[in-house]
């Protein structure tokens, strides 16, 4: 990863964090999708735990953590499916 890609990764990560914290859920989802396709979804799991702590969701259902786990499983499933399709056509 180059310095420029690292700056983009950090910017998208913090942008998604601040968008969710300010209540701009739709824009936060767009930032998460862009981050996932470029850098992967594994690093978004600690972000979801941080957001659940910010909103105090540990006393109830931790929505952001559950959504992040679901998104991670879904994105990895798509990544594996895309790799299988690419390897069949080579």
Where along the chain do its domains lie? 3-88
pTM above 0.85, yes or no: no
> 30-59 b/e with 16+ CB inside 10 Å = b?
ebbeebbeebebeebeebbbebbeeeebee
58 DSSP 8-state letter = G
Is the model more confident about 82 or about 45?
A: 45
Q: pLDDT confidence of 72, banded at 50, 70, 90?
A: very high
Q: What is the CA radius of gyration of the chain?
A: 15
Q: Is the pLDDT of residue 88 over 70?
A: no
For residues 40 and 33, what is the distance between their CA atoms, to the nearest angstrom?
Answer: 9
Q: pLDDT confidence of 59, banded at 50, 70, 90?
A: confident
pLDDT digits (tens, 9 = 90+) for 13-56: 999 999 998 989 899 999 999 899 888 889 899 999 988 888 88
């Amino acid at each position: 990863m180059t310095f420029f890609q690292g700056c983009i990764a950090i910017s998208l990560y913090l942008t998604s964090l601040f968008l969710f914290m300010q209540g701009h859920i739709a824009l936060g989802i767009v930032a998460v999708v862009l981050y996932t396709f470029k850098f992967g979804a594994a690093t978004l799991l600690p972000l979801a735990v941080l957001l659940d702590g910010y909103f105090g969701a540990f006393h109830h259902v931790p929505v952001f953590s559950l959504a992040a786990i679901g998104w991670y499983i879904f994105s990895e499933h798509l990544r594996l499916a895309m790799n299988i399709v690419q390897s069949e056509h080579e």
